[in-house]
Structure 1
């Protein structure tokens, strides 16, 4: 029995790579052979062209002398591509809007699992890609389910609704990552969808430590930052003050001010969270890994947004599930997190997510 995962193929995105690894491991450990399709969506930016043609572009860049930021970006991209080749190879099946699903060596699959991440965010893909992300390529009789799929939006326009209304009812079972996602499924189709844990939270801290490779030097004492937006001056001051007070340096993920940390691959991202003293972030998966490793953390609101207005659906769901609404701050430090309570809730949600998946995977 071969399980085929359909998710976004975003090779340099930490959260995307790690949720893909987690779901692949979850399925292979419990439900048989698992592989991931290489989903080549029509994404227009240079970053996504790099994702689609990473090796080819890297080869061209290598023929020139590269310096500074370009060299760091190339080195980081190599590490991310190597992670995919080692842990979640996607060379057996390719999915494109012009050819549908193609098997490299005549391989076959028995079940399709859609998710996780923002696989149903129609703002990133065209209509045909969205149909494929809903399992339209699967032949009749092949079970298709979604695990922790995310829409990435809180409302859906009429054109996209037509696609969802056509294909969601064909899924054998539907689970989503956010409460708002479950509401959207019901609003569009009348069907029920179950909210389950993001795949990264389905593995234990010890599970995650098995992929680390010693990226962080021994006795390295640091505060970790990971921002997708830009911290305000006041928020940056809070970071600096905390680091100084506790005798820590600051390591900054995806920040060119910290070239050593910028080179981190997905496995190094995990290690950085496992060994930090404290975390400042605005990232969903940074919160997940902080929780797994029992790290105190503060989530800063994005610039020009305050309070719950800046809390997107995935953050809102995560904080509701784990009683962590208080970690979201405009500035300052979040209250101390009670990890005894978090662990209790995590065990309960894992059990429910495992139960849902077992039922959905049962033929």
Structure 2
């Protein structure tokens, strides 16, 4: 019921968009091979449980359910590991003042993190090594999953954001007009764009792949721009995990905040050869961590 309420809108066009998006995601979900058997506390044990990724430790996020299992509590497993969790804006003090969370984390056997803030929180709470790893979206290939999103226009700026403020909208529209390009917003109803597209996740990949430019402020908008070698810019400074990602890959100069003419960033050349080498190195570290953490004991 809570999810259904998020679809409702007094604006008819937005309501239609939300319903089409919901239907698209439902259809896409059916194509994914997912084991629908959820974790059971009554089962005697699991060989291993992996906690992560994304903001499973962001207890400051009001929209996220703070499950005790995310912190290693009550898990019937011989081996508990984390993969690429993020605490985002949550601080060490936030976690430390809740003894149940800190105590639960001490039940975890192997730790990884995907940003420096999370890394440092773990270091302060548990006396165990922590490995910095890539987000799991970097570990697989998507060529076979990409779909055409049914967008007829060629030559567009893809705008991927939950919502931009007035200044960001103005700068993005000014840039698109200066290049004679359309603005397309996938997955979110940003009606200041020329077109909003309620596509599937696979259609979203196709839209990023075919875009002339990408303007975003999201973590995965930045990731897929990098994976597809796009001219992109990100309002990264406002989001810890986005800033950490770009810094780790030597792309901090893709920051759009404080830049009046965002074209100076979007048109700047990116050495994707160097970036891909960096990703491959970090991918090896990430996969080795998983192999070692999940290896049978003894």
TM-score by length of 1: 0.70
Aligned partner of 1:113 in structure 2 is 50
Residues 245 and 85 of structure 1: CA distance in aligned 2, closer, same or farther (over 3 Å): same
Aligned partner of 2:183 in structure 1 is 250
Alignment partner of 1:328 is 2:252: no
Q: Which runs of 5+ in 2 are unaligned?
A: none
Whole-angstrom distance in 2 between the partners of 1:74 and 1:145: 37
Whole-angstrom distance in 2 between the partners of 1:124 and 1:88: 29
1:231 deviates by 3.9
Alignment partner of 1:210 is 2:147: no
Aligned partner of 1:143 in structure 2 is 79
- Structure 2 counterparts to residues 19-168 of structure 1, below 5 A: 49-50=2-3, 67-87=12-32, 89=34, 91-93=36-38, 101=40, 109-124=46-61, 129-139=66-76, 141-155=77-91, 156-157=93-94, 161-168=98-105
Whole-angstrom distance in 1 between the partners of 2:84 and 2:95: 23
1:288 deviates by 0.2
1:145 deviates by 0.7
Match of 1:291 among 205, 211, 226: 226
1:82 deviates by 2.7
Aligned partner of 1:98 in structure 2 is none
After TM superposition, the runs of 4+ consecutive aligned structure 1 residues lying more than 6 A away are 125-128
Whole-angstrom distance in 1 between the partners of 2:130 and 2:38: 28
3-state SS of the aligned residue for 1:261? strand
Question: Is the 2:88–2:117 Cα contact (8 Å) retained in structure 1?
Answer: no
Question: Is the 1:121–1:153 Cα contact (8 Å) retained in structure 2?
Answer: yes
3-state SS of the aligned residue for 2:84? strand
Question: Is the 2:54–2:84 Cα contact (8 Å) retained in structure 1?
Answer: yes
3-state SS of the aligned residue for 2:67? helix
Whole-angstrom distance in 2 between the partners of 1:187 and 1:321: 22
Count of paired positions: 285
Aligned partner of 1:273 in structure 2 is 208
Residues 219 and 112 of structure 1: CA distance in aligned 2, closer, same or farther (over 3 Å): same
Question: Is the 1:119–1:150 Cα contact (8 Å) retained in structure 2?
Answer: yes
Aligned partner of 1:240 in structure 2 is 173
Aligned partner of 2:123 in structure 1 is 186
Whole-angstrom distance in 2 between the partners of 1:146 and 1:282: 26
Alignment partner of 1:174 is 2:111: yes
Whole-angstrom distance in 2 between the partners of 1:86 and 1:311: 35
3-state SS of the aligned residue for 1:110? strand
1:173 deviates by 0.6
1:76 deviates by 0.5
Question: Is the 1:93–1:102 Cα contact (8 Å) retained in structure 2?
Answer: no
Task: Tell me how large the CA RMSD over aligned residues is.
Answer: 3.1
TM-score by length of 2: 0.84
Whole-angstrom distance in 2 between the partners of 1:195 and 1:336: 28
1:93 deviates by 0.9
Whole-angstrom distance in 1 between the partners of 2:108 and 2:157: 44
1:127 deviates by 12
Question: Is the 1:213–1:268 Cα contact (8 Å) retained in structure 2?
Answer: yes
**CA offsets, 1:288-340, max 9 Å, x none?**
00000000111136xxxxxxxx3432123212211111111222231322111
Aligned partner of 1:14 in structure 2 is none
